[in-house]
Amino acid sequence: MALPARGYFSLSLSLYGNLLVMVSIVHFKQLHSPTNFLIASLACADFLVGVTVMPFSMVRSVESCWYFGKSFCTFHTCCDVAFCYSSLFHLCFISIDRYIAVTDPLVYPTKVTVPVSGLCIAMSWVLALVYSGAVFYTGAYDDGLEEFTNALDCVGSCQPVINQFWILIDFLLFLAPAFVMIILYSNIFLVARKQAKRIGNVSSKAESLSGTYKGGRSANRERKAAKTLGITVVAFLISWLPYMINSFIDSFLGFIIPSSVYQILYWFSYYNSSLNPLIYALFYPWFRRAIKLIVSGQILKESSSTKNLFSKSA
């Protein structure tokens, strides 16, 4: 029963880890920035995967059947797809945010504001929910495959068989933002490398120390944030790409790939919802300090929201 054990661990981390991310960013005023609001919304998508998708998928994996009815199967599948694409769109907007922050830091505060971040968040949710609902609640996903669907062995099955047209749309919808993120982060790391060399040369000069150090420290913070979020993007792509490729190939081979392979791959993709809090805990000192304040109950104090999380004494 290794899968349930891993599933319970991933589910717990997806729920509590992402909840900690959301509470941290919403509660502490110092974290109220356009980037962090996008991160909080991304955590919300991962949290909802843990609430609406993973528990029922766990039962399906263990029992090899679906006991929750056809209507809930449609809702479950719709949520699964919607939250996946919502996470993808959030990550794409975050990559754009980081690209502007690193390559054009002087105009970043005027270009990327809280209202702009809110618009990106709204688009990430609306596009994902509308697309998923339109595909699965209209029944468009299995047009031409009705006989094959009815011939499935398990009467209570909830593993939607998607036709080639919508699999192709799915695959392209996944690849397009993925390519955007890869290109942007490649450029970010090239620019960051040049900036690091330039700042190192300038800061070594004693006469420019007072004016340049602050700017160098700020640029260094932006580069670290871009690196951390770049790792988040890579983790998402590694988690989801095998499943997307398998679904794409399987639809053109006549659905001959064993269901056991499907289960391994979709659980591998689910694990991504629990990875982000671990990444933040490893690379964001402010997140570790926020967790300490939340777990110890100090956020209940009246002045806790103004705590300085970027100070080592916090």
Asked whether the predicted pLDDT for residue 100 surpasses 60, the reply is yes
Q: Which residues contact 2 (CB under 8 A, 6 or more apart)?
A: none
Alpha-carbon distance of 203 to 219, in angstroms, equals 13
Most confident of 43-52, 216-225, 302-311: 43-52
What was the pLDDT predicted at 81? 92
Distance between CA 63 and CA 80 in Å, rounded? 19
What pLDDT is recorded for position 117?
96
In a domain, 312, yes or no: no
To which residue do tokens 């199967």 refer? 73
**What CATH number corresponds to the domain at position 158?**
1.20.1070.10
C-alpha–C-alpha distance, residues 231 and 212, integer Å: 28
Structure tokens at 128: 């994902």
User: What are the tokens at 69?
Assistant: 């009815």
**pLDDT over threshold 50, residue 213:** no
The whole domain housing 204 covers 2-306
Please measure the distance between the N-terminal and C-terminal CA atoms of the chain and give it in whole angstroms. Answer: 42
| 311 domain residue, yes or no | no
Q: For residue 287, with 0-12 CB atoms within 10 Å meaning exposed, 13-18 middle and 19 or more buried, which class applies?
A: buried
Total domains present in the chain: 1
> Do the beta carbons of residue 51 and residue 14 sit within 8 Å?
no
pLDDT digits (tens, 9 = 90+) for 29-48: 999 999 999 999 999 999 99
Q: Does residue 24 form part of some domain?
A: yes
Residue 314 lies inside a defined structural domain of this protein:
no
Nearest to 95 by CA among 214, 183, 162: 183
Domain presence at residue 213: yes
Q: Amino acid identity of 52?
A: T
